[in-house]
Amino acid sequence: MIDKLDLNTKAQELREMLGEDANSPADVFSLINQIDGLTIVFYPLGDHISGICVRDHEVKLIALNSTMSYGRQRFTLAHEFYHLYFDKASGYNVCCKKFDSKGEDERRADQFASYFIAPYKSLRAAVKRICDQKELQLRDVIELEQYFGMSHLAMLWRLVSEGYLAKADFDIYSNGVISAARNLGYSDKLYKPAPVELQKKTYGYYLKQVVELRRKDLVSPGKIDELLLDAFRDDIVFGEDEEVGGEVID
């Protein structure tokens, strides 16, 4: 059985441990740097996998499917945090993109992610503020997901599961979100994947280790380039941004 109260508490505790307050919308990606030894890999993982978490006493690695929407990648990162911190078994998880038809552990990780992105009390307050007793319209759902930075589908699931939205509206509101969001004046970033040139990238601990090897002069410059290229960091090897004058400091 899934203990929602326990998962909401765990989500709040982890937010606080990573330096966020318990209730405000969180910049999930910025928290990566608060986790010692964590490497993040963005990679097109196909149509069925949302993310992968590998963990044991030596390795902490999260891979995210970069062809999913930005909002879903944020959600999946929070889902993988559950495996990293609260899943008792070490080893790895390969996580399914579909929200329904999952085992209990995966549903638990989804529920945790939902609370991590939109804490129970915060969502309740936001729903009250936005629609105050009225039935939620698509524009309200969009306002909520834009506020918390949650994927459209994840927000619909959450609203239905907490009784804010009728299951019948789930299907009606599932389509046409990008044009509706644009017409309401929002950016469509939440609903789109990373640009193709950013769909394969590695960040975090692995890069720090390569920098250490270079600083201590432990391997040849050619080997350093090879390690960086293995991590899809052509931008570091070839200094792409500097070459095209893409840097803006302001």
Q: For residues 63 and 13, give the distance between their C-alpha atoms in angstroms, rounded to a whole number.
A: 23
20 and 117 in contact (C-beta within 8 Å)? no
Q: What is the residue type of 118? A: A
# residues contacting Zn ion (CB under 5 A): 4
Element spanning 233, H or E: none
User: Which one, 20 or 106, has the nearer CB to Zn ion?
Assistant: 106
Closest residue to Zn ion in the complex (CB): 95
* Eight-state DSSP code of residue 231: T
Is 78 a binding residue for Zn ion by CB under 5 A? The answer is no
Residue 93 CB, shortest distance to Zn ion, in Å, is 4
Residue 27 CB, shortest distance to Zn ion, in Å, is 22
Four-point Cα dihedral 180, 185, 187, 190, nearest 10: -40
Contact region for Zn ion (CB under 5 A) — 36-44, 98-106, 200-208, 231-239? 98-106
CA-to-CA separations, 11 to 127, 248, 249, in angstroms, rounded? 20, 36, 35
Among 95, 155, 177, 224, binds Zn ion (CB under 5 A): 95
Is 93 a binding residue for Zn ion by CB under 5 A? The answer is yes
Nearest one of 241, 231, 191 to 211, comparing CA atoms: 231
Residue 110 CB, shortest distance to Zn ion, in Å, is 8
Query: Given the DSSP bridges, would you call strands 60-65 and 38-43 parallel, antiparallel or unpaired?
Result: parallel
Contact region for Zn ion (CB under 5 A) — 93-101, 134-142, 221-229, 236-244? 93-101
Residue 12 CB, shortest distance to Zn ion, in Å, is 20
Would you give the distance in Å from CA 194 to the centre of its chain? 12
Among 14, 49, 68, 109, binds Zn ion (CB under 5 A): 109
Residue 97 CB, shortest distance to Zn ion, in Å, is 10
Residue 53 CB, shortest distance to Zn ion, in Å, is 7
Residue 91's SS3 state is strand
Residue 248 CB, shortest distance to Zn ion, in Å, is 37
Contact region for Zn ion (CB under 5 A) — 59-67, 84-92, 105-113, 120-128? 105-113
- Helix axes 70-86 and 104-117, enclosed angle (nearest 10): 120
Would you give the distance in Å from CA 95 to the centre of its chain? 13
User: Which one, 75 or 164, has the nearer CB to Zn ion?
Assistant: 75
Site for Zn ion in 215-244 (CB under 5 A): none
- Which residues of the chain form contacts with Zn ion (CB under 5 A)? 93, 95, 106, 109
